[in-house]
Amino acid sequence: MLLALDTSTRTVGVALYDGISVLGEMIWSSRDYHTVELAPKVAEMLSKCGVKTSDLEIVAVAIGPGSFTGLRIGLSLAKGMALVHHKPIVGIPTLDILAAAQPLMGDSLVAVLRASPGHAVDAEIRTSAVGAQPITLRLSGENQLSWKGVHLNGSAAAKVPVLVRVKSSA
């Protein structure tokens, strides 16, 4: 049983996976209340799914980029649960989480997150039938984001997570 936590942005998510299917998933929008919302939501989801914390086999957590405070909260809860139950913990890059939710189409994908006021972080991820491979990761001003002829302009360009498909040159 895998418990997954993502607190890297204001869209917070927790999920429970049994190796075959997702047993439970909760996603909500939080305005800096990760500290008071995360543990109760995890407890609620586990209860609704009839799973005890001792049933967990591994804890997965988003490791960024993202909100520093949000990441600390998610990592703290994940580490605490893993330590108490002597279970492994695995960190997953936030941009990989965004990309993994997209269908594999044999081209490139650009995942973008707001990093801090005036900046965004993006990763180009090459996708194929065998999986996704990060190509580049960079920090840039959010008012002018561009990749291979695809341009996002304006202050709203990186206010929310963005996914842009780019035809692969390879």
48 shares its domain with 113: no
13 and 86 share one domain:
yes
58, 73, 92: which is the final residue of a domain?
A: 92
* CATH code for position 13: 3.30.420.40
Tens digit of each residue's pLDDT, the chain (170 residues): 999 999 998 889 999 999 999 999 999 998 878 999 999 999 999 999 999 999 999 999 999 888 889 999 999 999 999 999 999 999 998 888 877 777 666 566 677 776 666 666 666 555 555 555 555 555 555 445 555 545 444 444 444 455 555 444 44
- Please, what is the Cα angle at 10 between 8 and 14, to 5 degrees? 65
Range of the domain at 22: 2-92
Residues 102 and 159 in one domain: yes
Whether residue 49 sits in one domain with residue 29 = yes
Round to whole Å and give the CA distance between 11 and 38.
Answer: 11
Q: Which of 123, 127, 125, 126 is nearest to 140 (CA)?
A: 123
Statement to judge: residues 6 and 83 lie in one domain: yes
The two most distant CA atoms of the chain are separated, in Å, by 50
One domain, residues 88 and 101? no
Looking at the structure, tell me whether residues 88 and 121 fall in a common domain. Answer: no
Same structural domain for residues 43 and 88?
yes
Smallest CA-to-CA distance from 4 within 62, 71, 48 is with 62
Residues 6+ apart with CB under 8 A from 148: 108, 166, 167, 169
Among candidate residues 92, 115, 137, the one where a domain is terminated: 92
Q: What beta strand segments (E) does 30-84 contain?
A: 58-62
> Tokens for 34?
């990760």
Same domain, 80 and 104: no
The residue among 47, 67, 92 that closes a domain is 92
What's the number of domains the chain is made of? 2
82 and 111 both lie in a single domain: no
